[in-house]
């Protein structure tokens, strides 16, 4: 692919209490690409994403974002990143506008661009009418949207979303999928999910983790080649039905 690499991870390994949770995971992400991270519960998806986002330090291996090593040049690397963790990091007693402005400032958005970026992020996540509301009073779906808005407000080159569609209703899921597609035009997106159709619909490539190891890393077309995506996933992970919700 001709487009430049925005995120690359080399041989990431992470231990938790002597047991390796993620072993030797390498991946590359190009500009304008949407990568889906699949796997059973406990396969190491969230751990991998946290390492990519710089929230967790790998025991070995390294991560580069926009050619900056995240361990050596964290400020430069993290400025190119937007991250939505598994639990959206929301201050429940702040108003949506205040919170998003704070998130933007943390990511070094210039004061002159603040309003523009804020409005764009709110519009993209369908939060235009919620600016004055307290985050704590919003429903789970709206809180999830605020979490996503927080991750994209500074218009980063790489957006990392850990299960972005959890807790959303079908319409919202459709909206968020459209948003991810749209983000994929200019930035790179990496998202983890349990929903195989989500991967089928919006991801260019899929990466399947099994017990912390990469067992599949190719285009979604490849995953679909022999049979439908669901049976491919089940065949690959070789653990029938469990965790493979559709």
Contact between 78 and other proteins (CB under 8 A)? yes
57 or 219: CB nearest other proteins: 57
Q: Give the HSE-up count for residue 9: Cα atoms under 13 Å, Cβ half-sphere.
A: 23
- Select the residue interacting with other proteins from 3, 11, 26, 57 (CB under 8 A): 57
Contact between 89 and other proteins (CB under 8 A)? yes
Using CB under 8 A, which of the segments 104-112, 171-179, 192-200, 228-236 binds other proteins? Answer: 104-112
Using CB under 8 A, which of the segments 10-18, 39-47, 53-61, 222-230 binds other proteins? Answer: 53-61
162 or 200: CB nearest other proteins: 162
Residues 177-236 that bind other proteins (CB under 8 A): none
DSSP state of 95: B
CA nearest to 177, candidates 191, 158, 188: 191
Cα torsion at 208, 213, 215, 217 (round to 10°)?
A: 60
Contact between 62 and other proteins (CB under 8 A)? no
Contact between 16 and other proteins (CB under 8 A)? no
Which CA distances in Å does 148 have to 61, 78, 126, 233, 244? 28, 16, 11, 27, 24
Using CB under 8 A, which of the segments 83-91, 114-122, 175-183, 210-218 binds other proteins? Answer: 83-91
Contact between 107 and other proteins (CB under 8 A)? yes
Contact between 91 and other proteins (CB under 8 A)? yes
Q: How does DSSP assign 113-134, residue by residue?
A: GHHHHHHHHHHHTT-GGGTTSB
DSSP state of 57: -
- Minimum Å gap between C-beta 152 and other proteins is 14
**Contact indicator for 153, 84 with CB cutoff of 8 Å:** no
- Select the residue interacting with other proteins from 24, 28, 97, 98 (CB under 8 A): 98
**Two tokens at 7?**
């995120």
Count the site residues for other proteins by CB under 8 A: 32
């Amino acid at each position: 692919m001709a487009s430049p690499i925005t995120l690359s991870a080399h041989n990431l390994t992470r231990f938790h209490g002597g047991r390796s949770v993620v072993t030797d995971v390498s991946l590359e992400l190009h500009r304008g690409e949407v990568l889906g991270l699949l796997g059973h519960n406990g396969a190491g998806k969230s751990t991998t994403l946290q390492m990519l986002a710089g929230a967790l330090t790998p025991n070995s291996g390294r991560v580069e974002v926009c050619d900056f090593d995240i361990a050596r040049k964290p400020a430069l690397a993290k400025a190119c990143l937007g991250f939505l963790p598994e639990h959206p990091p929301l201050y429940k007693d702040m108003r949506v506008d205040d919170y998003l402005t704070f998130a933007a400032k943390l990511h070094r958005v210039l004061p002159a661009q603040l309003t523009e970026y804020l409005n764009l992020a709110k519009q993209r996540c369908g939060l235009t009418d919620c600016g004055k509301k307290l985050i704590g009073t919003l429903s789970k779906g709206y809180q999830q949207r605020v979490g996503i808005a927080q991750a994209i407000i500074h218009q980063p080159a790489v957006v990392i979303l850990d299960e972005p569609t959890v807790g959303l209703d079908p319409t919202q899921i459709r909206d968020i999928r459209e948003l991810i597609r749209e983000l994929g035009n200019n930035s790179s997106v990496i998202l983890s999910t349990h929903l195989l159709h989500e991967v089928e619909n919006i991801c260019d490539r899929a990466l399947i983790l099994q017990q912390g190891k990469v067992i599949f890393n190719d285009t979604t077309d490849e995953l679909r080649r022999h049979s439908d995506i669901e049976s491919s996933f089940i065949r690959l992970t070789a653990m029938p039905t469990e965790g493979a919700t559709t």
